Structure 1
Amino acid sequence: MRISEVARRAGATVKAVRYYESLGLVTPRRRANGYREYGEHDVRLVREIRELSRLGIPVEGTRPFLECLGAGHEHADDCPASLAAYRRAIDELTERIEGLANRRAVLLAHLREAAYRNSRVPMPDEEETPMRTDFYELPAGLPVPEDDGAADHLPGTPMPALTLPDTAGRKISLDAPGPGRTVIYIYPLTGRPDRDQPEGWDAIPGARGCTPESCGFRDHHAELLAAGAGAVFGLSSQDTDYQREVVERLRLPFSMLSDAGLRLVEELRLPTFEAAGMTLYKRLTLIVKDGVIEHVFYPIFPPDRHAEQVLAWLRANP
């Protein structure tokens, strides 16, 4: 059998077979005229080298396996030396994985430090801040959401007897969230400085603006309470840990409610949309009184002025 035939049958190149020969891993028989004569055993060796190489074992490291076949064993890993070679390869991979994991952790730490350092949220009484404001301001030209009627059924609807966790470690009953009126602003997804927004986020009507909206409710929180709101809550489908980071970073004086299971979609038929494989709530705000939805804001635009709209409604409807 010629070298080209060995390469074809083993799925290798002629150059690779010659390289294996140079290392003494494949040793074809020599004819009287000096030409190499390959056999089925050589095809088996070349295949074994390639398969082991795909597992991450270097070509030189395949020698114990080939010697095991040469000793007449049916499988290349029937010998103790082959098992030892497996262990060495595993140990080398483990060391590389740990090294890569450590490098990844350091990079993540640098990313987080830089992202948060350059994205500090200003409070209303701060005149100058070193932050970049683009993360907290709405860009021009955002598409305006249209009223599709998806919230028309909500006014007058009793709140379901659901209990949701909040970022303060409590369990909040939606049908009895507290005395007086409760403002629950429901939003899709608050961005974080160290993470990218879903692709095409700004092109989805009503998606962009969760951070400015939350900052608006923060800045007008005392006024909302003075106008008759007993409590203010944000609500989204992110888990509590994700929301807690938002509360701490934005320095919100109120809690966020987590509906990670999207239970309100079933209970109240709240509108949603899809983005990056996620089902997210469309932006809307509920005014709840005595366990019943008294008023609904939907659609909401622009979100950075929404807290002022809620405040104006509370003052107009004492």
Structure 2
Amino acid sequence: MRISELAHEAGVTTKAVRYYESLGLVRPARLTNGYRDYTGDDVRLVREIRALLRLGIPVERTRPFLECLAAGSAYIDDCPASLATYREAIDELTGRIEALTARRSALIAHLDAAARRGSTVVPAGTGSAHDAHLALPADLPAPEDDGAADHLPGTKAPAIALTDTAGRGVRLDELGPRRTVIYVYPLTGRPGVDLPEGWNSIPGARGCTTEACDFRDHFQDLLEAGAGRVYGLSSQDTGYQNEVVDRLRLPFGMLSDPDFALAGALGLPTFEASGTRLYRRLTLVLRDDRIEHVFHPVFPPNEHAGQVLDWLRANPL
């Protein structure tokens, strides 16, 4: 067959085939007119090279595998030299992962320090005006598990985009293979601004600020336990949420869903307070385009990030 036919059969370019030939990895026969003549064996060689490339093994280091085939083995990795090349590639990859992990940990530490530096949040119990938002009443009613989220695990994430506090559109069905934690909450109060009437008596309503602070304080631990991203989500507009991110010095972004698009797509539970529709508190763990796990009901909110952290550690990828 001609080089164009080989390239088509193997799923590569003719330029790639010529490069493999220049390295002596593919050696076609020559016709009397000087044209190269490729066979089905050459197609397999090129396909094997392509498969090894996808594993991260450079073309120049595929020779032991191809020589294994040439020696009569049924598989490219039946020979000791092939296994040795696997090990070398794994060792190199391990070194790169360790270096990247160290760099990632350093970045997280800098982010965490920057998020805490200059925070205007005063710990509860200091007697400040902020205590009204940070201290939870001792008799706060716990929400009951009414099964409103039982249908969510395993559900496909909807193809909708929500705006985050950086002004970006976040597609929930394109979050990738790493876990994304999205804690959904009703609304975050502001110091000096009244909460809806009867807020403390609504099960699961009170505690959004303390929940945000708990996720802030556990942010680095959550990432180290396998979370790729953390978001808060409410029906409050992006401007309101930006104030919360700045005031609480949150190291993660918030998603705004004022039209309750996610509630409509997934059937998320909501409630009304003072005539305003709000999300009920729950947390989604998404991976790829699926909801892997759901926390509902959530209580107490000021300890919820630790609950998510425990689950991540108990269910490693």
TM-score scaled to structure 1, two decimals? 0.60
Matched residue, 1:68: none
**Cα gap change, 1:209 to 1:138, in 2 (>3 Å):** same
**Cα gap change, 1:248 to 1:179, in 2 (>3 Å):** farther
Q: Give 1:194 shift.
A: 2.9
The answer on whether the counterparts of 1:184 and 1:287 sit within 8 Å (CA) in structure 2 is: yes
Q: Give 1:122 shift.
A: 3.9
Matched residue, 1:306: 304
* Alpha-carbon distance in structure 1 between the residues aligned to 2:232 and 2:276: 19
Q: Give 1:316 shift.
A: 0.4
- Aligned pairs (5 A) from 1:44-55: none
Q: Deviations over 1:236-293 (max 9, x none)?
A: 0000001100010000000000000001121000000000111100000000001100
Q: Is the radius of gyration larger for structure 1 or structure 2?
A: 1
1:243 equivalenced with 2:226 (yes/no): no
The answer on whether the counterparts of 2:121 and 2:247 sit within 8 Å (CA) in structure 1 is: yes
Q: Give 1:312 shift.
A: 0.4
Match of 2:145 among 147, 150, 155: 147
| Alignment: residue pair count | 198
Matched residue, 2:254: 256
- Aligned pairs (5 A) from 1:90-109: none
The answer on whether the counterparts of 2:130 and 2:191 sit within 8 Å (CA) in structure 1 is: no
Matched residue, 1:202: 200
Matched residue, 1:108: none
Matched residue, 1:227: 225
Percent of pairs identical after alignment? Answer: 65
1:287 equivalenced with 2:285 (yes/no): yes
The answer on whether the counterparts of 1:283 and 1:298 sit within 8 Å (CA) in structure 2 is: yes
Q: Give 1:226 shift.
A: 0.3
Matched residue, 1:177: 175
Q: What's the RMSD between the two structures over aligned residues?
A: 2.0
Match of 2:295 among 280, 294, 297: 297
Q: Deviations over 1:140-190 (max 9, x none)?
A: 101110000000000000110000100011110011124400000000010
* Alpha-carbon distance in structure 2 between the residues aligned to 1:199 and 1:255: 28
Matched residue, 2:41: none
**Cα gap change, 1:173 to 1:275, in 2 (>3 Å):** same
Aligned AA (2:237): D
Q: Secondary structure at the match of 2:304?
A: helix
Aligned AA (1:204): I
Q: Secondary structure at the match of 2:143?
A: coil
The answer on whether the counterparts of 2:262 and 2:268 sit within 8 Å (CA) in structure 1 is: yes
Q: Structure 2: which 5+ runs fail to align? A: 1-118
Q: Give 1:120 shift.
A: 3.2
